[in-house]
Structure 1
Amino acid sequence: MTKEIEIPYNENTTMDKDKAGSIIRDVKSLFKGPVLIANALPVFVGFWLALHFTGGTLLANSRLFWLSIIGSTILMGGALVLNNWYDVDIDTVMKRTQKRPTVTGNISLKTVLGIGISMSAIGMIMLMFTTMEAAIYAFIGWFTYVIMYTMWTKRKYTLNTVIGSISGAVTPLIGWAALAPAYHIVPVILFIILFIWQMPHTFAIAMRKYDEYKAANVAMLPVVCGFKMTKRQMFVYIACLLPLPFYLSSLGMVFIVLATILNIGFLAISIRGFFTKDDNKWAYVMFLYSVNYIAILFLLMVAVTMPAFT
């Protein structure tokens, strides 16, 4: 017969674990972790493709690589933190943002502002050690997101999505320009893809969170113009993606075929929206497809150029 061993309950340990978990959740929410990662991927792909087309190697350009990746991530993190600082009033109203530390008070607004400014400055300085062109693209992204989108258009105009899309679309230009001038057709098309893609992606989110945006008085397209207009615009933007893979013929036929299949699938789901009876469910499907679409598309660009580095 084995003797039971009684493990004493340590209340302090449990409290410490809860506190640590709360801090991690607050930091993740403050920096909008998934958004930050999603924006770092195109920077990497831009740099990777620049290596491919210039005949460079990752090892020989490791300093530029880490400066561009880390610098852009810190800069984007600073921009996202400043967005949280400025939007605290509407975040209080919207259910999906009510647990952010700026709303709960777990981190003071003064501290958040300091973090946002500091990270923005550090990120910019790091990128200036790559090339001035990369730093300029990064500043354009930061300025359009923090000033033109967050502080100016988000609450007033439905064009806020167009403005905000610029900040996300410059990311591959940052990665490419850290190594070589970005007047090549490939980074230009990557910019256009990301710019166009963000429209249906953001509209899908806005449709799902319609009530919250309306309560917060944010001028998202579904709130101001309704779902029918939003669906029509989503269809048009997605249709504009169809010819873009053919401008990337230098990536090979496999890429063109697979990217076209992804585009057709995207368009098919968009068309289905005109006949759906459950707009919320359809918008969720659109959101999921858009997230996977852009991740697969950009990872595919890396995969088809991988043999060049082996």
Structure 2
Amino acid sequence: MERSMPQQTTTNQIIPPESYLETGRATWRDYIEITKPGINKTNLLATFAGYWIAAGFTSFDFLTFFFTMLGTGLIIAGGCTINNFYDRDIDPRMERTRKRAIPEGRIKPAIALWYGITLTILGILILAIGVNALAAFLGLMGFYVYVIVYTMWLKRTSTLNTVIGGICGAIPPLIGWAAVNNSLDLSAWALFLILFMWQPPHFFALAMRKVDDYRRAGIPMLPVVKGFAATKKQTLFFTLLLLPSSLILFFTGVAGWIYFVVALILGLIYIALSIKGFFAKDDDLWAKQMFFYSLIYITLILFVMIVDVAVMEIVKMY
């Protein structure tokens, strides 16, 4: 049974509507930043990896690929915008989010809401018309988990927010795969597992670094509710699961020895860093190292997938 979060008291409140004119108008950068482009980049790289692994050189269709990336990117942007809209009550209480366009009043909540809805609908329509129904359905499911399940429910009620919310972050490679095959097989779900198992350690490290922010905002992240020791145990648990999950692609035959060796090394380093946390004297420094490595890990493993498939395709040609 999870402990309930203590009631938070704060002087930070949502900026009232009458103050919007006092804070200045939004710039085009604000409308880009509200879509969380950093998150979108990683997800689109995963989408590309899913498409490329499924298509290779022989089945690669540039128009379908374009619609896949555009539709997926718009759905993610829409979901992130609505996330910013919904979190306008807690963002002013957190150091890392208080300067966002909505908390500071540069973008009105109603405008942000409709902006997010418009982006999402456009993305789903592009996938449905330009790609296929399965890709559109997966995009809709990713949006539903991120906005409804994670943002509006679990983020504020349970330490499982990061784990279950990770489903939406693991869907982009499925969209890429479905765009080519209009179906999902074991290799596609292996891609899903890699992204799903990677996200808890990634966000646990962030939550440890920003634990005071989350506590002040009343968000029940695992380090806030259960403490650092429990968070380290969960981090090790998911990094241990991530290693075999990352190797499935080799055994299904879609990835070769280059990928296998690199994935094995990356996974073992991640596990070693997780174990190091139990002996760390400086938890903040360890959390920074884990967060930094998580970014290296996901970038490299996706990149190596792409390169490995290209090498395998070239070898087959000759």
- What's the TM-score, normalizing by structure 1? 0.89
1:245 deviates by 3.5
Within 5 Å, give how 1:293-308 maps onto structure 2: 293-307=297-311, 308=313
Q: Where does residue 56 of structure 1 map in the other structure?
A: 58
Describe the shift of the 1:67–1:98 C-alpha distance in structure 2 as closer, same or farther (beyond 3 A).
same
Moved over 6 A (4+): none
Partner of residue 292 from structure 1, selected from 263, 288, 296: 296
Mapped contact 1:154–1:160 kept (Cα < 8 A):
yes
What is the CA–CA distance in structure 2 between the aligned matches of 1:182 and 1:200, rounded to whole Å? 29
The one-letter code of the counterpart of 2:260 is I
Q: Where does residue 123 of structure 1 map in the other structure?
A: 123
Q: Where does residue 31 of structure 1 map in the other structure?
A: 35
Mapped contact 2:247–2:263 kept (Cα < 8 A):
no
Give CA deviations for 1:157-189 in whole Å, capped at 9, x if unaligned: 111112210000011000110110343222110
Q: Where does residue 237 of structure 1 map in the other structure?
A: 238
Describe the shift of the 1:212–1:70 C-alpha distance in structure 2 as closer, same or farther (beyond 3 A).
same
What is the CA–CA distance in structure 1 between the aligned matches of 2:126 and 2:149, rounded to whole Å? 23
What is the CA–CA distance in structure 1 between the aligned matches of 2:92 and 2:52, rounded to whole Å? 40
Q: Where does residue 110 of structure 2 map in the other structure?
A: 110
Q: Does 1:98 align with 2:115?
A: no
Q: Where does residue 278 of structure 2 map in the other structure?
A: 274
1:28 deviates by 3.8
Mapped contact 2:49–2:302 kept (Cα < 8 A):
yes
Mapped contact 1:231–1:274 kept (Cα < 8 A):
yes
What is the CA–CA distance in structure 2 between the aligned matches of 1:206 and 1:171, rounded to whole Å? 23
Q: CA RMSD in A?
A: 1.6
Q: Where does residue 256 of structure 1 map in the other structure?
A: 260
Q: Where does residue 49 of structure 2 map in the other structure?
A: 45
What is the CA–CA distance in structure 2 between the aligned matches of 1:27 and 1:292, rounded to whole Å? 28
Q: Secondary structure at the match of 2:158?
A: coil
- What's the TM-score, normalizing by structure 2? 0.87
The one-letter code of the counterpart of 2:220 is A
Q: Where does residue 139 of structure 1 map in the other structure?
A: 140
What is the CA–CA distance in structure 2 between the aligned matches of 1:301 and 1:210, rounded to whole Å? 34
The one-letter code of the counterpart of 2:101 is P
Provide structure 1 residue ranges, at least 5 long, that are not aligned to the other structure.
1-18
Mapped contact 2:132–2:182 kept (Cα < 8 A):
no
Matched positions, count: 287
Q: Where does residue 169 of structure 1 map in the other structure?
A: 170
Mapped contact 2:174–2:184 kept (Cα < 8 A):
no
* Identical residues among aligned pairs (%): 40
Q: Where does residue 197 of structure 1 map in the other structure?
A: 198
What is the CA–CA distance in structure 2 between the aligned matches of 1:24 and 1:286, rounded to whole Å? 33
Provide structure 2 residue ranges, at least 5 long, that are not aligned to the other structure.
1-23
Mapped contact 2:177–2:184 kept (Cα < 8 A):
no
